[in-house]
Amino acid sequence: MLYFVKQVLSVNEDTEEHKRFICVNPGRLSKGIGGGTFVELYYNEDTEKTKAFIMRI
């Protein structure tokens, strides 16, 4: 699976409560001879202010 960062919205149908989650797949740290990828995550309790970057080695 290719690397990605996505914000996911979850809605509870009973209470209509909305929650946001950040889903991260940084990919492989190492791939063959060359480097792979990893994630750099700046977490904040507010998902609107949280930042994630996929970095190459």
Structure confidence by residue, pLDDT tens digits, 6-53? 888 888 888 888 888 888 888 887 767 777 888 888 888 777 788 888
What pTM was computed for the model? Answer: 0.60
- Supply the pLDDT for residue 31: 66
Measured torsion, CA atoms of residues 25, 3, 48, 41, in degrees rounded to the nearest 10: 70
- Supply the pLDDT for residue 16: 81
- Supply the pLDDT for residue 11: 87
Cα separation, 5 vs 50, whole angstroms? 11
| C-alpha angle 42-46-50 in degrees, rounded to nearest 5 | 25
The residue behind tokens 């904040």 is: 44
Where in the sequence is the domain holding 30, given as residue range(s)? 4-56
Count of domains forming the chain: 1
Cα separation, 44 vs 31, whole angstroms? 31
The sign one gets for the Cα dihedral 7, 54, 40, 4 is positive
